[in-house]
Chains A and B, each alone.
Chain A
Amino acid sequence: MFATYQYKRFPYVLSPEQASGRIVRHPVVIVGAGPIGLTAALDLGRRGISVVVLDDNDTVSIGSRAVCYAKRPLEIFDRLGCADKLVAKGVSWNVGKVFFGDELRYSFDLLPEDGHKMPAMINLQQYYLEEDLIAAAAKLPNVEFRWKHKVVALRQAEDHATLHVETPDGVFAMEAHWILACDGANSALRDMVGAQFTGQFFQDRFLIADVVMKADFPTERWFWFDPPFHRRQSALLHKQADDVWRIDFQLGWDADPVEEKKPEKVIPRVRAMLGEGVEFELEWASIYQFACRRIDKFRYGRVLFAGDSAHQVSPFGARGANTGVQDIDNLGWKLKLVLDGAAPLALIDSYDEERAYAADDNLRHSTRSTDFISPKSETSRRYRDAVLELAGEHAFARPLVNSGRLSTPTPYVASSLNTPDETPFVGKMAPGANAADAPTLVGGKPGWFLEQIGDGFTLVVFGAPPPVEAVAFGAIAARVRVVGRDFEDSKGLLRERYDAREGAVYLFRPDQYVAARWRAFDAEKIQRAIARALAA
C-alpha cells in the first residue's frame, strides 16, 4: 500500500536479564518508542544516562500521523544533533489559506523572523522522524532498544519501580529508578498508576488520507470551511515529503469509522476535492476522533508521564508531538541532575509544575480551535460562519478566524525555578522564556546563538569579561560565554532580542530557558539563581 516508504522491522532480541532470570535495576526505562520516547532516549543518552527503551511493536509509526514540526522542537532536535536531516527532508512552509465555500476568505503568513537557524514549521511524516531518532540513539552505547516488549504490570517502591514485561519468550521483571511513560494517549501505565485523565471529548470524527500526487498546488496550508466538495464540514490539504499530501476531512459524529476508512469511500472524497484529471494514489487512511484532556499529575512515584500519555489535544495547531518533545526538553536535564545527586527530588516536581502549565496553555488553544472548527450548536456555527463571511471584506474579522493556532512554546512565567528581574528589561526574554536564537560568528565562521549555550547551565555576558570562567553551586558549574570574546553578535540581533546593554548577564538552564538576568555580573546572585533553578 505504501508507494513511498518501506517499513523497517527491528529485530526482537531475548535480553540477557530475561534469559538469566536475574533482575536488573536500570537508571531509566522508557516505555514507548514514538517521537517522545525516542527524543527522551536521545536526550538522556547524550546526557550519559543508561536507558532501556521498551516498545510493544517492532517498527516506526504506521502512516504519517504527526506531520508538522515547529521551530522550538526543531531547535531541540538540533541540540540533539539531528535537525539538519529533518529540515532537509521536510517541507518548509509559511503561508496558510482559509476558504469558506469556494472563496478565499483569509490568508496568513507565519512570517518567520529573520536570524533563526530553524524554520517556523516543517511538514514531515512521523515515520521519517522516528527513523532518524532511532538511528541517532542507536549510535549511543548507553541506549538499548528492546522491541516486542510490552509492559503488563507495575509495582512501585520508595526509590524504584518494578515492571513486568511480556515478550515472545514470556514475562519477566525489570526494575528502574525512573520510568518514563511515553506510551501514548491510551497509556497502559497511566491506568496502572490509577491516574485521572480528564477533559473534554468532542463528538466529531475526522478522516486523514495520505495521497501521493505530482500536483501544482503551492506548498501552503489550505483549510476549507464548508467547501463545495464536502458540504457542511471542513477539509485540510498539506504537503509532506516525497510528494505525499495529507488531506483531512471532517466527517461528523454519525460517520461510520469502519466504512469511511475503506478506499472505495475515501477515493471519491479525494477526487471531489482535487478535481477530475488529477492523478493520485491513496497511500494510507485513518479515522480519528479526539479529546482535549490531561493527566492530573505528571509524576506518580517513580513514573513520569510525557507526551500524549500526559496530555491529549486536538490536531488543530500541531500541538501534540510538538508539546511532547518539549516535555522531554524540560525533563531530561532534571532527571540527569537528580540521578547524579546534584539536585534534590524537588527538581523533578518542577517538571510537573512547568509542563502541566504548558499543557493547560496548549489545551486552551486547542479547545478554542476545536470550538471554531467543529461548533457544538447551531448558534455557535452561525457565529463561526458570520466571522468567515465578514473576514473576506473586513480586516477586523480575520484575527477571529481560527483554523488552528500553530504551536509555539509556552513561557514558564510563574515557575518557581525563575529568579525574578531586579531591574527592568524590554522584550520577550524574561525568566521562564525559551532562548531566542540569533546569528553569531565563531572564529570568523557563521554560527548560531543556541549552539553557543548548548545543553548545560550557561552564563552569557555582554561586555567586559568577568574575572571567572564559571560560577559553581554545589556540583553544578555554569560556564561563562562572553559576547565579543567567545563569539560575535554578527548582526546585532542578539543584543536587540535580549535588551542587552553593556554588562548584561543571562543565566540559561540546560534546556535553553532563561533562569535569571541582571544588568551586571555578581557571582553571589548568580549562585543563588542556580540554586533556585535546581530547586535547591
Chain B
Amino acid sequence: MPLNLQPNIPDPDGFYQELIDSQRDMSAEQAEMMNCKLVLVLANHIGDREVLRAALKAAGGKMG
C-alpha cells in the first residue's frame, strides 16, 4: 500500500490535542526524545521500507 497522504485520522482535533497534551509538561529536550521514540515506534508499525522512504521524503528529508 502506498503512503497515505489523504486525511486518515478520525477526530483530527482530538488527536492533535492528545499529541500536544502528551508533551505538555516536558522540557524541550524530553519532548525531543519522545519525538524520536515516537518516530521509531510508528516506523516499526509501518515496516514497509517503500512507505517509510516515501514518508521521509514527504516530511522534507533529503533522500540519497
A→B interface (CB under 8 Å): 382-383, 385-387, 389-390, 394, 396-397, 400
Contacts and interface: CB of A to CB of B under 8 A. Distances in A.
A389 B44 contact: no
A382 B44 contact: no
Interface stretch (B1-9, B19-27, B35-43, B50-58): B35-43
B18 interface: no
B51 to A, nearest CB: 16
B8 to A, nearest CB: 22
A426 to B, nearest CB: 24
A386 B36 contact: yes
Contact of A400 (B32, B33, B40): B40
A386 B37 contact: yes
A382 B33 contact: yes
Contacts of B33: 382, 385-386, 389
A397 B44 CA distance: 8
B37 A396 contact: no
A397 B40 contact: yes
A397 B43 CA distance: 11
A350 B3 CA distance: 42
B52 to A, nearest CB: 13
A186 B44 CA distance: 42
A454 B3 CA distance: 52
Interface of A is mostly: helix
A382 B32 contact: yes
B40 to A, nearest CB: 6
Nearest to A380: B36
A390 B32 CA distance: 15
Contacts of A389: 33, 37
Nearest to A400: B40
Contacts of B40: 383, 386-387, 390, 397, 400
9 contacts: A382-B32, A385-B33, A386-B33, A386-B36, A389-B37, A390-B40, A390-B41, A396-B41, A396-B44
A394 B38 CA distance: 13
Contacts of A386: 33, 36-37, 40
Contacts of A383: 36, 39-40
A385 B33 CA distance: 8
Given A385-B33, A386-B33, A389-B33, 13 more contacts: A382-B33, A382-B36, A383-B36, A383-B40, A386-B36, A386-B37, A386-B40, A389-B37, A390-B41, A396-B41, A396-B44, A397-B40, A397-B44
A396 B44 CA distance: 7
Contacts of B39: 383
A387 B33 CA distance: 10
B62 to A, nearest CB: 13
Nearest to A383: B36
Nearest to B47: A396
Contacts of B44: 396-397
Contacts of A397: 40, 44
Contacts of B36: 382-383, 385-386
Contacts of A390: 37, 40-41
Pick the most buried of A386, A389, A396: most chain B CB atoms within 10 A of its CB.
A386
Pick the most buried of B36, B41, B44: most chain A CB atoms within 10 A of its CB.
B36
Considering the complex of A and B, which 7 residue pairs feature the smallest CB-CB distances, nearest first? A386-B36, A396-B44, A386-B37, A383-B36, A382-B36, A390-B37, A386-B40
Nearest to A378: B32
B27 to A, nearest CB: 13
A394 B32 CA distance: 19
A95 to B, nearest CB: 25
A518 B34 CA distance: 55
Contacts of A394: 41
Nearest to B34: A386
A396 B37 CA distance: 12
Nearest to A394: B41
Nearest to A399: B44
Contacts of B37: 386, 389-390
A383 B33 CA distance: 8
Contacts of A396: 41, 44
Contacts of A400: 40
Contacts of A382: 32-33, 36
Contacts of B32: 382
A389 B32 CA distance: 14
A435 to B, nearest CB: 31
A390 B37 CA distance: 7
A182 B37 CA distance: 45
A383 B38 CA distance: 10
A400 B40 CA distance: 10
B36 to A, nearest CB: 4
A373 to B, nearest CB: 17
B60 to A, nearest CB: 14
A112 B55 CA distance: 38
A389 B38 CA distance: 12
A377 to B, nearest CB: 12
A351 to B, nearest CB: 29
A385 B36 CA distance: 9
Contacts of A387: 40
